[in-house]
Amino acid sequence: MDFSSINPALLIASLMVSATPILLAAIGEAVVEKSGVLNLGVEGMMIVGAVVGFIVAVNTDTPLLGFVCAAIISGIFSIIFGMLTQYLKSNQVATGLGLTLVGLGLSALLGRPYEGMKSPTLKALEIPFFSDIPVLGKMLFSHDLMIYFSIFLVTSVWWFLKYTHAGMVLRAVGENHDAAHALGYKVVRVRMLAIMFGGATSGLGGAYISLARVPQWTEGMTAGAGWIALAIVVFASWRPWRVLFGAYIFGGVTVLQLNLQAAGASIPVEYLSMSPYLITIVVLVIISSRGNQGAPASLGRPFHASS
C-alpha cells in the first residue's frame, strides 16, 4: 500500500469534478423543493441528460452543444412530471419514481448504439495568472467551464431566492400554497417553472457524468447520483451554499475511496465502493435526529385550487 501516491492538490481538483454532477442536480432540486414539490425523478432526468448530451456531443463533436441539449431535453422530460402532478394531481412520490424508471428505460434505448464509445471532452479553462499559482492553480483554476458554471449557478440560486421578488414568491408557494393562491400568485405556474429548472440542471449534471467525468456512455451510468443529490438537499436544509458544501463533501468521499482503491489499500474494493452510500445514510440520520429544519411546509402536498 502506497498512500504517498495520493496527491492532495489533485485530490481537491478531482473532488470538484466528482461533485459537480451531484451539485448541479441538487441545486435544481433544491429550487423544486423550495416551491413545495418533491420530484423523486432526479435520477431519471440525469440519465436522460447523460445520454442526450453524449449523443449530441459525439455527433457534432461539440461538447458544449451536448450540455445545452441535455438541459433542454431533460427540462422537457421533467414537464411530464409537472403535468402529472400539477395538472392531473397525481401522487408526487409515485410519479417521481415513474420518471426515474422511464428515464432509465428511455436512456438505455437511445444510448444502445453508443455503448462503449468515447466522447469529446470539455477543454480545461486555464484562468490567466491564477492558474500559474503553484498548487492552488492546479487545484482551483484549471477546470472546465461547467465546474465554474455550477458554482455560478449556486450563487445565482442563492441570490434569486434571497433577494428577488420572484424568489420570494417561489418560497411563499412552497411554504403555504393556499395563502399564496389567496394572494393571487399562480401556484401551478410557479411550480411548473421550478420543475423545469430542476429538470434542466439535472440534465446538465447527467451530461457532466457522460461528457466530463467518465467520459463515455454506459447503461445506468448515473449509478444513484440522482438519489444522492436528493439526500444532499435534505442534508443542506434547502440552503444553496450548504448544497455546495454537501456535494463537495460527498465528492471528497467518492474520490478518496477511488484513490484508496488505486493505492491498493487493504480494505476490500466492495467495502470502499459502498462507502459513499453508507456515509449518505449516516449523514441523513444525523440531520434528521436534529429535526428537519427548513423543510418547506407544503413540500409534497398536492394543491387544488377550490375556487
Partner 1 sequence: MFKLEKRPQQSQKWIYLSPFLAVLITMISGGILFAALGENPFEAIRIIFWDPLFDPNFASYSRPQLLVKAGPLILIAIGLSFGFKAGVWNIGAEGQYILGAIFGASVALAFYPMESKFIFPLMIIAGALGGFLWGLIPALLKAKLNTNEILVSLMLVYVAESILASVSQGLLKNPDGYGFPGSRNLQNYESAANVEIIANSGMHWGVLFAFITVIVSYIILTKHIQGFNIQLTGQAPRASKFAGVNPTANIVFCLGISGALAGLAGMFEVSGPSGQITIEFNSGYGFTAIIVAFLGRLHPIGIFLSGLLIALTYIGGELAQLMLGLPGASIQLFQGMLLFFLLATDLFANYKVKIGADN
- Chain contacts with partner 1 (rule: CB under 8 A): 40, 80, 84, 88-91, 93-95, 97-98, 101-102, 104-109, 112, 219, 223-224, 227-228, 230-231, 234, 268, 270-271, 273-274, 277-278, 280-281, 284-285, 288-289, 291-292, 304, 306
Distances (CA, A) of 133 to 141, 217, 221: 9, 35, 35
Measured from the CB of residue 11, what is the shortest distance to partner 1 in angstroms? 23
Measured from the CB of residue 39, what is the shortest distance to partner 1 in angstroms? 12
Residue 171 CA to residue 188 CA, distance in Å, equals 13
Nearest 5°: phi and psi at 95? -65, -40
Residue 238, phi-psi category: left (phi > 0), alpha (psi -120 to 50), beta (remainder): left
C-alpha cell at 163: 433577494
Compare residues 88 and 129 and give the one whose CB is closer to partner 1. 88
Compare residues 61 and 219 and give the one whose CB is closer to partner 1. 219
Measured from the CB of residue 112, what is the shortest distance to partner 1 in angstroms? 5
DSSP for residue 122: P
Measured from the CB of residue 95, what is the shortest distance to partner 1 in angstroms? 5
Measured from the CB of residue 44, what is the shortest distance to partner 1 in angstroms? 9
Compare residues 4 and 306 and give the one whose CB is closer to partner 1. 306
Compare residues 9 and 284 and give the one whose CB is closer to partner 1. 284
Compare residues 10 and 297 and give the one whose CB is closer to partner 1. 297
Residue 236 CA to residue 294 CA, distance in Å, equals 9
Measured from the CB of residue 233, what is the shortest distance to partner 1 in angstroms? 10
Residue 33 CA to residue 27 CA, distance in Å, equals 10
Residues 6 or more apart in contact with residue 47 via CB below 8 angstroms: 103, 104, 107, 206, 220, 221, 222, 226
C-alpha cell at 57: 456531443
Which amino acid is it at 174?
G
Compare residues 67 and 81 and give the one whose CB is closer to partner 1. 81
3-state secondary structure of 124: strand
Measured from the CB of residue 90, what is the shortest distance to partner 1 in angstroms? 4
Contact 79, 86 (CB under 8 A): no
Residue 240 CA to residue 245 CA, distance in Å, equals 9
Q: Residue 68 CB: number of other CB atoms within 10 A?
A: 17
Residue in 120, 122, 121, 112 with CA at minimum distance from that of residue 220: 112
Compare residues 180 and 234 and give the one whose CB is closer to partner 1. 234
Compare residues 48 and 153 and give the one whose CB is closer to partner 1. 48
Measured from the CB of residue 89, what is the shortest distance to partner 1 in angstroms? 6
Q: Is 5 exposed, middle or buried (0-12, 13-18, 19+ CB in 10 A)?
A: exposed
